[in-house]
Chains A and B, each alone.
Chain A
């Protein structure tokens, strides 16, 4: 990682992180499904201080038409950060970072969505980051799969996102902004808990082979925790009258 010098103590002598968490603890995650009127499916997710709105449109006609595929539906994703989402104003035009994140999130969702059911159509997923605090791609991915399920699009599994990483020489779960800036490694993971497949994986920072294994292990553990919250968000929307499953 950048290894930027800061005065923040990333891990104190009691093993407590700069925001009061233990090494294997995620931030507080809350998800609400069905928050937008016009979208076919939507979700609002708070992942620590990240605040992200996701809207899903489709399956619908493909424009431009040449993008359509006669064999399968296509998934299109846009990850976008609002100019006010970060400390210094972000230029609203899509950056190369956002283009890349949109692509990796698309490829993380594709294995879960049964696109062959809707040839010649497109499913559009729009992720708007209203406030960013480290780990936005995992949070956006988590929200996007809830929004897709909310839209009633057939899926093989939900995709849950959570990062693992390394800061102050310790393997940690769910890297926050300070740890991302001053830490040693960030390994975002997207995981399908029922199919046991990792569909999003990136790394920047140095990890020994042993740390790499540990990171994947606790990352999957974090994704499983996030998955429970995703399920609850969908239950709350579709069984709000109090009935159980």
Chain B
């Protein structure tokens, strides 16, 4: 399953032949992600921001913070919403208009990784119970697409939220009013990091490029937290995984993820 990417047969054969020799097209090891660079604070008007470059895949994440009316059943918690979109400048196959299923999946997987890790202690983001809470919106814009958007969005989001500043609010006449110039640190508990692996034949490749993405049989995205626990997972593509492969993938994700987490920490 290629999510609409078409890779020519010669390239495909080259990738498959190299895999049999234990090599990848760009010379990486099977369990080696591409070089990750993260710049934070690239959008000063946003309360937090990060540009993540994973090889030639680039994502800009911006965090906006604003008071919100809570959902009726979660009036004692703040709000956290992550989105993702692929900008039409990112790739010739990217289209404007309503998001197609692959883009909906990208946004939801990005959101799930951050949300389910409990990255932020949402109970600390309440201004007045059932009336007003702090909403944190982390929007990812994919600006260049060279495969594995899941991880690039994960790293950009985690780095942006990790480095954001939350404005202070006070309640006046039941309405939240921003106190200019005063900020607090986000209530961080952990740093979630996703690692996506492509399955091509019986090979498992960490951080597939767009060419590997185009020919893979299946993929799996596993997000782990700072304690080395698994917090979110998404299988995709038109093949399955065996039980042994899944356990190996989870171990790989925790191992590779811990190195990525250091890069995100250092970016702050």
Contact = CB atoms under 8 A, between A and B. Distances in A.
A198 B218 CA distance: 11
Contact of A204 (B104, B225, B232, B237): B232
Interface in A187-215: 187, 192, 195-209, 212-213
B172 interface: no
B82 interface: no
Contact of B1 (A107, A217, A220): A107
A200 B235 contact: yes
Interface in B240-265: 240-243, 246-247, 250-251, 254
B236 A104 contact: yes
Given A4-B74, A111-B240, A102 B101 contact: yes
Given A198-B235, A199-B235, A209-B230, A110 B1 contact: yes
Interface string B104-127: 110110001001111000000000
B90 interface: no
Contact of B246 (A2, A201, A205, A206): A201
Contacts of A216: 243, 246-247
Given A206-B117, A209-B251, A96 B235 contact: no
B240 A204 contact: no
Contacts, number: 105
A220 B1 CA distance: 24
Contact of B242 (A2, A107, A197, A206): A197
Contacts of A208: 229-230
Contacts of A207: 229-231
Interface residues on A, range: 35 or more
B228 interface: yes
Contacts of B250: 209, 212
Given A107-B1, A216-B243, A220-B243, A99 B230 contact: no
Contacts of A237: none
Contact of B240 (A100, A197, A205, A212): A197
Main secondary structure on chain B at its contact with chain A?
A: mixed
A158 to B, nearest CB: 13
Contacts of A111: 238-240
A5 to B, nearest CB: 8
B234 interface: yes
Interface string B84-111: 0000000000000000011011011000
A110 B218 CA distance: 11
Given A201-B246, A203-B233, A110 B238 contact: yes
22 contacts: A1-B116, A96-B104, A100-B108, A103-B101, A103-B102, A103-B105, A197-B239, A198-B243, A199-B239, A200-B235, A201-B233, A203-B116, A204-B231, A205-B116, A205-B232, A206-B230, A207-B229, A207-B230, A209-B230, A209-B254, A212-B247, A216-B246
Interface of B: 1, 73-74, 101-102, 104-105, 107-108, 112, 115-118, 218, 220, 225, 228-243, 246-247, 250-251, 254
